[in-house]
């Protein structure tokens, strides 16, 4: 682990972009480096949430439950994952699986929450990202509902 390189890369994560260099280094220092092999599960839906992760390299597939079939989405480098469970103090909402080799930094829940309370701009960025995700999820559900209703309608109707 290269503390200075990791601190600079953390600046590329939208939520951490406005942190000063000292806080970025502290975040990198207090985070735990994690490596995952291709196909390895980072965490499962329903599991207790004890941390958030930043993908430092590689890609992570997101599944609603078991990691089978096509993923809902693929997340890559500089993506923050797992923060919703940390903020909501709730179980994991999805299963994440490594696509290829993945290197990440694991940020313990207490450290993540401390970072948010000490840096209101971080908390605001997290809220904005969560609102955007909720809007996207709502849009996807509405599209799926529309497709389902159209497929159940009688032809020529």
DSSP state of 1: -
Closest CA to 32 of 87, 93, 85, 103: 103
Position with higher pLDDT, 138 vs 154: 138
Homologous superfamily of the 3-151 domain (CATH): Jelly Rolls (2.60.120.10)
pLDDT, tens digit (0-9, with 9 covering 90-100), for 48-91: 999 999 999 999 999 988 888 899 889 999 999 998 899 989 99
pLDDT, tens digit (0-9, with 9 covering 90-100), for 17-56: 888 899 999 999 999 999 999 999 999 999 999 999 999 9
Residue-level pLDDT at 128: 85
Segment holding 42, helix H or strand E:
strand 41-43
| Domains of the chain, residue spans | 3-151
């Amino acid at each position: 682990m290269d503390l200075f390189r990791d601190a600079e890369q953390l600046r590329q994560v939208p939520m951490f972009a406005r942190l000063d260099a000292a806080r970025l280094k502290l975040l990198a220092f207090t985070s735990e480096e994690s490596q995952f092999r291709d196909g390895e599960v980072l965490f499962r839906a329903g599991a207790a949430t004890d941390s958030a992760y930043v993908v430092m390299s590689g890609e992570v597939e997101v599944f609603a439950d078991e990691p089978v079939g096509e993923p809902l989405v693929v997340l890559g480098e500089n993506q923050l994952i797992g923060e919703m469970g940390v903020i909501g103090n709730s179980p994991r909402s999805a299963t994440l699986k490594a696509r290829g080799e993945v290197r990440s930094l694991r940020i313990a829940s207490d450290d993540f929450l401390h970072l948010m309370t000490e840096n209101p701009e971080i908390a605001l960025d997290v809220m904005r990202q969560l609102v955007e995700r909720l809007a996207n999820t709502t849009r996807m559900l509405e599209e799926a509902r529309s497709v389902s209703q159209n497929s159940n309608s009688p032809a020529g109707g």
